[in-house]
Structure 1
């Protein structure tokens, strides 16, 4: 493989990964054959250590990302290989990975202690320039008020020397060379734009873009699309996951999303590509918003909560805001397994819910939401999340056959929000759990694969349940709500090429903002 000398020199000059302050300086070596690799071609490396072990290994991570920067697990590696010798060479495949910045770690004995300083590289695209989808819609604008948005991050492929131009569209819209969209709308209605992207190789791609312009005295966001989405280790389990995630968000015209399993960077990366605001809170939780985020909190490390929130400005004219809370509750022991595999009594199930930590977690989150819920009449409130537990609204007598014959279970993770005045948007839109089960776990796992402390036969049917939610309070009315995926996901283990990038279905609710 040959690279342009200037490109190779620039990549070699990138800032080195630093050793954690608390750690000893690693005494091994890790060297990449090249710091720029074309996507689809292998990463070739050499290594050495005075402490050889059969379980020493090399792992590839996104940069900045979910690698063991502090010599502790944060998220799974994208690719890995054992390196058992005192010195040698190895390769890491790159099939299915997107172009961008990555880092390679040389790690000890199936753990995360560094054996050498990490090495950075860039994956360079070998595919044609393309917008991730077309047509798509940008955030709403207001007549007479300056507008801003961006399409910079919505192009994939060979983006070297990327520039944007306006090919057609409303006179008020300007397109900067870097993909920023600006101007002042002159009248209410839908403004159209055709924008072209071009790289230094002369490749081009065009997209049709729409901007909904509201009147000077109208509500800026009269309709809001809110989603809860477990990304499944950031989408890393599916080839081309980030591009597919962007395409899904644009195709569904989503406004705000509560994210789980972000692998430390997904909220930031998705928001930057979309030109949105974000709150990336640690390795797990994130919130992204098409409209400005005005406040964020609390960090889980500061509060001990399994949830975060962001205040979203829905209307700069009136100051109307939305408070979006997002949660990810404990995953084990798992109630549907207890009910289906172990045949525990209802009281035993509730005891196990408390043992899992979920009961205490949802109680603490709802308590922390108290002030926001009291003000929900002025600033509506959402609670999104992967609760890792079903809803009592689904466990009716009529629907018992879908839940191993179980019914009447007052699952605390749904009862506690209900008692606090929150409504389950999916069940408001679709009240019958028999005709609309709304299962979010799992479009990929259809049979039990073992683990989690359950001595049950592998290959038996996996319990299917609705464990992801969009709850709401305040001045919102539900227009529709669905458990959504993209395409027809192939089940595990043949899921790698799915258009859908998660092992959960997402929940997408459309609200009318009163």
Structure 2
């Protein structure tokens, strides 16, 4: 969910550019582009406020350059000008070398560096994410490198089947360390660039210890990675865990958001995530860090990341989009859809602040775009829903509206004196057979409300002192007899400070997430 005043606040923050300047990186999930050059960050041991990059390109030019932009947006993510870089410099007229950029003027936060061609915006390499964490205390904070987590559970393997997983992205952004296996089962090998591979030779979960070392400095860090191994001939993914996660403009309103997001996602051990407010390459950023597959359309703020291969793109349908994910070849697949519906006008405000009639509020649900958006989404999903006996279907996302299952007679006082409201964004999925996984697991909304909006807004952002309506507006729906709900939760981590005191929150969003565990 977005509030107009949040957007205006973003304009006043020096570190971040206007979200309207953000563009999505349009990259195929299964075929990442191949660039002619490389760019990587070298650890700085001088204590100066400089970032040192090494580069390698096919052909040199006097006006090839490196520019640094906020990770929240503004960079040439579609190889076109969007806004001015914060810091830039021409690289030497050579095919390989180093370039140093003075970042002493930049605040702590997350940035992205682009290597660009001939005073233009054509990418010469994949961009590099940079995290400045100590830039106001004599040093840029990037001379400490390490794994972002101490332990990680990787995707499942199966006895007798080839296995491969990537862990290179789990280190401090911007570095290219050398990886090596320190201990673990003999079948597991670890390449210098961070690829775990082998063929499990027994039915036993494997734990391996991996070290990452920066060649130029000798700095190192270790990671314990666990690989669940299934029996030969059995299902590769007998249990599936999915999440819906509104990132809140990528997470950029919170310091050190990249590391915090990665730690949280790994702690949940989920398999598939539907992302909203993921503009400007945040989908690929998270997928690359986790070593996962990803889907992101050319426009909009939606994205999907998955441990398992994305094998078909269903494209966009108004405010939603979908893919088919192969959990175990053609034997086990799931159709996965993600939505982010319109946010204005917002129904709970109409009821709680303006005391509108039910008829008027339902009219405004259509005015907001939510009603036609959910109708178009369900229409696009129709053929898959009708075939859900074969391939199960999951729909996740931010509906920006509550559920009819929560606005009950028992909760009339909580819901500003209203009850039995047929919110279209929840009734219409139910009409076509989609099941609200959270309410299956937690059938009593009085005992388990599952609030997702908002952990940082106890009071309305309009400055009137009004209490912010607290509602469950993020959902995971499903259909298909193969899916049995085991558990569903709404989650945050830490104790989020309210908006205005949120910069150092451990939690990086203004929504809670929802996580549902299924038995297949």
Q: TM-score, normalised on structure 1?
A: 0.79
Partner deviation per Cα, 1:188-210 (whole Å, 9 max, x = no partner): 22111111111121111111110
> Which residue of the partner structure matches residue 218 of structure 2?
202
User: Of 479, 500, 506, which aligns to 2:507?
Assistant: 500
Kindly state the Cα deviation for residue 408 of structure 1 after the two structures are TM-superposed: 0.6
> Which residue of the partner structure matches residue 395 of structure 2?
383
Query: Secondary structure in 2 aligned to 1:352?
Result: helix
Query: Secondary structure in 2 aligned to 1:271?
Result: helix
CA contact (8 A) 1:128 1:157 kept: no
Matched, 1:458 2:464: yes
Query: Secondary structure in 2 aligned to 1:403?
Result: coil
> Which residue of the partner structure matches residue 186 of structure 1?
201
Rate the CA distance shift 1:251–1:374 in 2: closer, same or farther, 3 A. same
Kindly state the Cα deviation for residue 126 of structure 1 after the two structures are TM-superposed: 2.1
How far apart, CA to CA, are the structure 2 residues paired with 1:389 and 1:226?
Answer: 21
How far apart, CA to CA, are the structure 2 residues paired with 1:294 and 1:328?
Answer: 22
> Which residue of the partner structure matches residue 307 of structure 1?
320
Query: Secondary structure in 1 aligned to 2:109?
Result: coil
Root-mean-square deviation (CA, aligned residues, Å) is 3.1
Rate the CA distance shift 1:362–1:122 in 2: closer, same or farther, 3 A. closer
Rate the CA distance shift 1:146–1:3 in 2: closer, same or farther, 3 A. same
Kindly state the Cα deviation for residue 263 of structure 1 after the two structures are TM-superposed: 1.2
> Which residue of the partner structure matches residue 393 of structure 1?
405
How far apart, CA to CA, are the structure 2 residues paired with 1:335 and 1:237?
Answer: 26
How far apart, CA to CA, are the structure 2 residues paired with 1:140 and 1:188?
Answer: 11
Partner deviation per Cα, 1:240-282 (whole Å, 9 max, x = no partner): 1111111111111010001001013111111111111100122
CA contact (8 A) 1:263 1:284 kept: yes
Rate the CA distance shift 1:306–1:228 in 2: closer, same or farther, 3 A. same
Rate the CA distance shift 1:72–1:389 in 2: closer, same or farther, 3 A. farther
**Mean CA deviation greater in 415-424 or 273-282:** 273-282
Matched, 1:263 2:279: yes
> Which residue of the partner structure matches residue 287 of structure 1?
304
Kindly state the Cα deviation for residue 400 of structure 1 after the two structures are TM-superposed: 1.6
Query: Secondary structure in 1 aligned to 2:308?
Result: coil
Matched, 1:353 2:365: yes
Rate the CA distance shift 1:239–1:127 in 2: closer, same or farther, 3 A. farther
Q: For 1:41-440, what aligned pairs fall within 5 Å after superposition?
A: 60-61=70-71, 94-98=106-110, 100-101=112-113, 123=130, 126-156=142-172, 159=175, 161-200=176-215, 201-281=217-297, 282-298=299-315, 300=316, 303=317, 305-316=318-329, 319-440=331-452
Kindly state the Cα deviation for residue 319 of structure 1 after the two structures are TM-superposed: 2.3
CA contact (8 A) 2:71 2:111 kept: no
CA contact (8 A) 1:193 1:208 kept: yes
Rate the CA distance shift 1:78–1:485 in 2: closer, same or farther, 3 A. farther
> Which residue of the partner structure matches residue 512 of structure 1?
519
How far apart, CA to CA, are the structure 2 residues paired with 1:382 and 1:15?
Answer: 52
CA contact (8 A) 2:244 2:275 kept: yes
Stretches of structure 2 that go unaligned for 5 or more consecutive residues are 1-47, 88-101, 131-139
> Which residue of the partner structure matches residue 490 of structure 1?
497
How far apart, CA to CA, are the structure 1 residues paired with 2:206 and 2:454?
Answer: 39
Query: Secondary structure in 2 aligned to 1:401?
Result: coil
Query: Secondary structure in 2 aligned to 1:369?
Result: helix
Kindly state the Cα deviation for residue 98 of structure 1 after the two structures are TM-superposed: 3.4
Query: Secondary structure in 2 aligned to 1:128?
Result: coil
Partner deviation per Cα, 1:71-111 (whole Å, 9 max, x = no partner): 679xxx9989xxxxxxxxx999533323642699xxxxxxx
Partner deviation per Cα, 1:168-201 (whole Å, 9 max, x = no partner): 0111000000000000001122111111111121
CA contact (8 A) 2:67 2:115 kept: no
CA contact (8 A) 2:182 2:210 kept: yes
Partner deviation per Cα, 1:25-69 (whole Å, 9 max, x = no partner): xxxxxxx9xx588xxxxxxxxxxxxxxxxxxxxx74568958797
How far apart, CA to CA, are the structure 2 residues paired with 1:8 and 1:340?
Answer: 57
CA contact (8 A) 1:230 1:504 kept: yes
How far apart, CA to CA, are the structure 2 residues paired with 1:327 and 1:170?
Answer: 42
CA contact (8 A) 2:50 2:103 kept: no
Query: Secondary structure in 2 aligned to 1:98?
Result: strand
CA contact (8 A) 1:125 1:157 kept: no
Query: Secondary structure in 2 aligned to 1:322?
Result: strand
How far apart, CA to CA, are the structure 2 residues paired with 1:70 and 1:144?
Answer: 47
How far apart, CA to CA, are the structure 1 residues paired with 2:376 and 2:61?
Answer: 44
Partner deviation per Cα, 1:106-165 (whole Å, 9 max, x = no partner): xxxxxxxxxx97899984752422211121100001110110001000001672x51001
How far apart, CA to CA, are the structure 2 residues paired with 1:96 and 1:289?
Answer: 30
Q: TM-score, normalised on structure 2?
A: 0.78
Query: Secondary structure in 1 aligned to 2:296?
Result: strand
CA contact (8 A) 2:110 2:129 kept: no
Stretches of structure 1 that go unaligned for 5 or more consecutive residues are 18-31, 38-58, 81-89, 105-115, 451-456
